[in-house]
Chains A and B, each alone.
Chain A
Amino acid sequence: MTLSRRDFLKLTGLGMTGAAAAMAFTACAQDDAGTTEGTAGATTGAEKSEELVQNTDTSLVDEGTASTEAESTGYIRPTLTVLQDDPGTIPPYSPNMNGRGVLWSMYELLFEQPGFGLGMVPVLADESKGALGGYDHEAGTGIYTAYIYDYIHDHEGNPITADDIVFSYNNYIEQGSNIKKWVGCKALDATTIEFEFESELVELMQLDGVWGGCFIISQKAWEAHTDMLTSTECGTGRYTCTDFVGGSHIVMEKVEDYWQTNTELIRTNQQANVQTVRCEFQSETAQKVIALQTEAVDMVESLPTEFVGEFLEHEKYQVFSYKDNLTYYLLFNCSEESIMNDINMRLAICYAVNIDGVLAAMGDGFGARAYYMGNDNFGDVNPDWVNWDNYNTKVGEAEAGVVQGYLDAAGYKGETITLMAGTSGVLGNVIQVVQAQMLQYNITIDLQQRDGASLSVDLAEPANWDIYANMAASKGLIANVWGGNMLNASVGKTGLTTGFIDDAKLTELTSSILTYEGHTAEKLDETWQYIVDNAYVIGLFSQYNNMIIPADMTYIARNGKKWPIHGACQFKNPEA
């Protein structure tokens, strides 16, 4: 049989198509295999890392208060290459923006918050002066007096005096930062600064926020740098910036003439255990994975759980997973314009949501289920809340009867409920799962996602939404999480809560737990029970953050936001 040219071409085309299909299927099969392996590994990673989290947090607390240089391994790693988010610019104000963790290596604060609600550790403040370890305060007044060392200098040799502290705070406010009750500050002498507030700072963590929020710079350096220190640097920290390109990288070198020469006063986070830190800015997960696979970098600050599996038993890396301080939650719109104004409707949703189901849909090892609005990162959590008998502790039980009962009590007739969320991928997945779960009870959910700016506009309009999916955080205590404008009507620009809750008792409770006087275990219990009874909010889960760190790293130094301070991390001496 002979083939015509046309038949030959047809056959060749068919053959090529078949080969392409076979290759595609093979690739898919390999992909699946890889994913399964990765996920399984990730689960193990999260479980393993839980212990590490506890250990590290404990050591952070212990060493963060008064560690010395001698306690470090003494080994200086030549270089550390890190992949992290892009800070855009590196100004010594707005330090909490994404990617700005590098600022903690170059600039310093009067006091630093070493962890969640753990108090303040003096940095530039001289802890030998003042009755309160670096500062004085006369009860009942809004006057706080801080003392600094008299030998501080920045990277260009400019001495840091009380006048520079005053300048730094004024500049901090000038650049758009807020300090509640702020009146002003003035230098009393070269090392003493008086801070004045409208009244005594009775709210939890308020003073910590003031002294732990503003990086100190010298006025001389500020005036000498015409770029407002947005792309150059002149701080007092252990590292100085030698090269910075926004969107690309920053290189930091260890400062050899660091101002603090008394090694007994150098805390863990002030140590310099790396000679050169190079941070490259990369947000693409695939690029991060390839960089790790090629061993081009030493550390990746954040990697989704499904990709950590292959680095668990890696020769060069170890995985460090920790539960971050963000809790995902559903908040209900209690205004009269929303169907969720009815407590029975809110309870129906609370019972209908299967949190374990949500977490399962997000993937193994993705996060830890919430039993309340927050997680056990916070020092003021009552561990017993996990066992409290409320809708939030029900796990995988058939709640159909209960849900239907509440729906009937609310008179629900299939009205569409608007579930609003921001544009993050995680939130997008969460609301889709919740929508699917609600369908089992014939509850119709309409999903709406908005970017940050549009979201705040829509949320301010009570008719626009019924349930709001979001995440809440605090670097203080769980009381701060509840006391945000999510539940506390005393803050926020409109005097209302985000959920339009008009409840004097809730306001009284959440305001009370935010003060030193009212922040008691009993009051916290009462507040949480009240929130549960009224179904104002339901906590869903806290996400695990996975850091890939070098195998020789023995300690991860982190600031109050849990961001790593690269140069202060400790490493095994390869020659030891």
Chain B
Amino acid sequence: MWRYIVKRLLWMVFVFVGVAFLIFTIMFFCPGDPAELILGSEATELELEAYREKLGLNDSYIEQLSRFLFDLFIKFDFGTSYTKHVDVIDELLNRAPRTITLGWTCIILNTLIGIPLGIMCALHRNSIWDRGFMVLAMVGISMPGFWFALMMVILFTKELGWLPQYGIGTWKHWVMPIISGALAGIANNARQTRSAVLETIRADFVTTARAKGLKENVVVYKHMLPNAIMPVVGQLGAAFGRAIGGTVITETVFSFPGVGTYMTTAITQRDYPVVRGCVIILAMFAAVANLLVDIAYAYLDPRIKAQYVGLGKGKK
């Protein structure tokens, strides 16, 4: 198992280098001159040239890329924001914990609510609960996130006065952003889990288990679920990426100072160091999430576990 984890960790290094290379290249070839955006249209060509020189934008692609990769991976320096004049890493360290906490909490809710709900619906298929929850799940998937967020504000802030409208400070400020961020994921997980369990219910090994006279609980929890849950677990890593992407809307609506709004503003301003920093940090967390999912997958899937355990034994 350790071999598997070490192998995945090594792969992550390549992933980070690849992400860094890609984001640098994409931003490099994006139209737009940061110097002009910062100094304004009235700046003379001389002033623009001097500012480009100061930012190092006059250097060749290779020189800039090398400098960026060296600063990033050797000095752990993400650079300084062109527009905010502040170290990107400082701002990210300030904002990323909020976005990551928001994203992870959404994922945990997706898992803890969505999967049991899907299992329950599948086990009681065509019941009123199944139909009711699946209709709700469809509504949850179809509803635009910002609309749902505003409806919650109207209900919980304006009408009931239970929760703060926006901002940060107390635990109450987290409630609506988390619910609005998690809803689509819960609905999606519930539907996927239901489909996966229904597929498994009809499998031969389940019929065999029942034919052997095993108790229904044993059939469900020991034979059916470990197999049904595999595809759902497999997509949790991608769900983390989606959750982080979705926080842009949540952060905007709830004035939640996270990475999402920071990055979108930076993209329009061609603030290259900020965009690169945000993408790399988000990629880092998405990679870690995928690693955890893969480890869970390997733990749950005996075929993968056997593959690595077997290899380890073989080498010995």
Partner among B150, B252, B257 whose Cβ is within 8 Å of the Cβ of A283: B252
Query: What CA separation (Å) do A94 and B84 show in the bound complex?
Result: 9
B251-282 interface with A by 8 A CB criterion: 251-253, 255-258, 261-262, 265, 268-270
Q: Are A290 and B165 in contact (CB under 8 A)?
A: yes
Query: What CA separation (Å) do A296 and B44 show in the bound complex?
Result: 46
A519 within 8 A of B: no
B36 within 8 A of A: yes
Q: Are B167 and A178 in contact (CB under 8 A)?
A: no
Q: Are B86 and A89 in contact (CB under 8 A)?
A: yes
Which of B3-11, B25-33, B293-301 lines the interface with chain A?
B25-33
Q: Are A248 and B168 in contact (CB under 8 A)?
A: yes
Instruction: Name the distance in Å between A459's Cβ and chain B's nearest Cβ.
Output: 10
Instruction: Name the distance in Å between A238's Cβ and chain B's nearest Cβ.
Output: 25
Q: Are B39 and A227 in contact (CB under 8 A)?
A: no
Q: Are A453 and B158 in contact (CB under 8 A)?
A: no
Which of B16-24, B45-53, B304-312 lines the interface with chain A?
B45-53
The residue in chain B whose Cβ has the minimal distance to the Cβ of A284 is B253
B178 within 8 A of A: no
Q: Are B86 and A456 in contact (CB under 8 A)?
A: no
Q: How many residues of B contact A (CB 8 A)?
A: 48
B313 within 8 A of A: no
Query: What CA separation (Å) do A296 and B158 show in the bound complex?
Result: 10
The residue in chain A whose Cβ has the minimal distance to the Cβ of B46 is A493
A425 within 8 A of B: no
Q: Mark A283-299, 1 if CB is under 8 A from B, else 0.
A: 11011001101101000
Q: Mark A416-459, 1 if CB is under 8 A from B, else 0.
A: 00000000000000000000000000000000000111101110
Q: Are B44 and A246 in contact (CB under 8 A)?
A: no
B90 within 8 A of A: yes
Q: Are A230 and B86 in contact (CB under 8 A)?
A: yes
Q: Are B30 and A453 in contact (CB under 8 A)?
A: yes
B40 within 8 A of A: yes
Query: What CA separation (Å) do A559 and B252 show in the bound complex?
Result: 28
B166-221 interface with A by 8 A CB criterion: 166-168
**Which residues on B sit within 8 Å (CB–CB) of A227?**
86, 90
Partner among B42, B157, B166, B252 whose Cβ is within 8 Å of the Cβ of A280: B166
A249 within 8 A of B: yes
Instruction: Name the distance in Å between A555's Cβ and chain B's nearest Cβ.
Output: 29
B41 within 8 A of A: yes
Query: What CA separation (Å) do A484 and B251 show in the bound complex?
Result: 37
The listed residue with most B CB atoms (<10 A of its CB), out of A88, A93, A491, A498, is: A88
Query: What CA separation (Å) do A248 and B85 show in the bound complex?
Result: 19
Partner among B31, B33, B42, B157 whose Cβ is within 8 Å of the Cβ of A491: B42
Q: Are A492 and B41 in contact (CB under 8 A)?
A: yes
Q: Are B257 and A178 in contact (CB under 8 A)?
A: no
Q: Mark A249-288, 1 if CB is under 8 A from B, else 0.
A: 1000000000000000000000000000000111110110
Query: What CA separation (Å) do A488 and B36 show in the bound complex?
Result: 18
A231 within 8 A of B: yes
The residue in chain A whose Cβ has the minimal distance to the Cβ of B47 is A178
Instruction: Name the distance in Å between B39's Cβ and chain A's nearest Cβ.
Output: 6
A554 within 8 A of B: no
**Which residues on A sit within 8 Å (CB–CB) of B268?**
451-453
**Which residues on B sit within 8 Å (CB–CB) of A494?**
45
B77 within 8 A of A: no
The listed residue with most A CB atoms (<10 A of its CB), out of B33, B85, B256, B269, is: B85
**Which residues on B sit within 8 Å (CB–CB) of A281?**
255
**Which residues on A sit within 8 Å (CB–CB) of B223?**
none
Partner among B33, B36, B95, B150 whose Cβ is within 8 Å of the Cβ of A247: B95
B38 within 8 A of A: yes
The listed residue with most B CB atoms (<10 A of its CB), out of A93, A231, A280, A493, is: A493
**Which residues on A sit within 8 Å (CB–CB) of B255?**
86, 247-249, 280-282, 287
Q: Are A290 and B157 in contact (CB under 8 A)?
A: yes
Query: What CA separation (Å) do A175 and B86 show in the bound complex?
Result: 11
Given A88-B84, A281-B255, A287-B253, are A248 and B32 neighbors across the interface (CB < 8 Å)? no
Given A176-B39, A493-B44, are A247 and B261 neighbors across the interface (CB < 8 Å)? yes
A335 within 8 A of B: no
Instruction: Name the distance in Å between B17's Cβ and chain A's nearest Cβ.
Output: 27
A228 within 8 A of B: yes
The residue in chain A whose Cβ has the minimal distance to the Cβ of B35 is A176
Instruction: Name the distance in Å between A467's Cβ and chain B's nearest Cβ.
Output: 18
**Which residues on B sit within 8 Å (CB–CB) of A296?**
165
Given A290-B157, A451-B268, A452-B32, are A228 and B167 neighbors across the interface (CB < 8 Å)? no
Q: Mark B220-235, 1 if CB is under 8 A from A, else 0.
A: 0000000000000000
B243 within 8 A of A: no
Query: What CA separation (Å) do A422 and B86 show in the bound complex?
Result: 28
Given A284-B252, A453-B32, are A249 and B167 neighbors across the interface (CB < 8 Å)? yes
Instruction: Name the distance in Å between A422's Cβ and chain B's nearest Cβ.
Output: 10
Given A290-B158, A294-B158, A493-B43, are A280 and B84 neighbors across the interface (CB < 8 Å)? no
B236 within 8 A of A: no
On A, residues with C-beta under 8 Å from B are 86, 88-89, 91, 93-94, 97, 175-176, 178, 227-228, 230-231, 245-249, 280-284, 286-287, 290-291, 293-294, 296, 451-454, 456-458, 484-485, 491-494, 498
3 A-B pairs with the lowest CB-CB distances in the bound complex, closest first = A453-B32, A247-B257, A457-B31
On B, residues with C-beta under 8 Å from A are 30-33, 36-45, 47-48, 51, 83-86, 90-91, 94-95, 150, 153-154, 157-158, 161, 165-168, 251-253, 255-258, 261-262, 265, 268-270
What would 15 A/B residue contacts be, using CB atoms closer than 8 Å? A88-B265, A94-B85, A176-B51, A178-B47, A228-B85, A230-B86, A247-B256, A280-B166, A283-B252, A287-B150, A287-B253, A290-B158, A293-B158, A452-B269, A456-B36
Known: A246-B94, A453-B33, A491-B44. 9 other contacts (CB 8 A): A88-B83, A247-B251, A248-B257, A286-B153, A452-B268, A456-B33, A457-B31, A458-B31, A485-B41
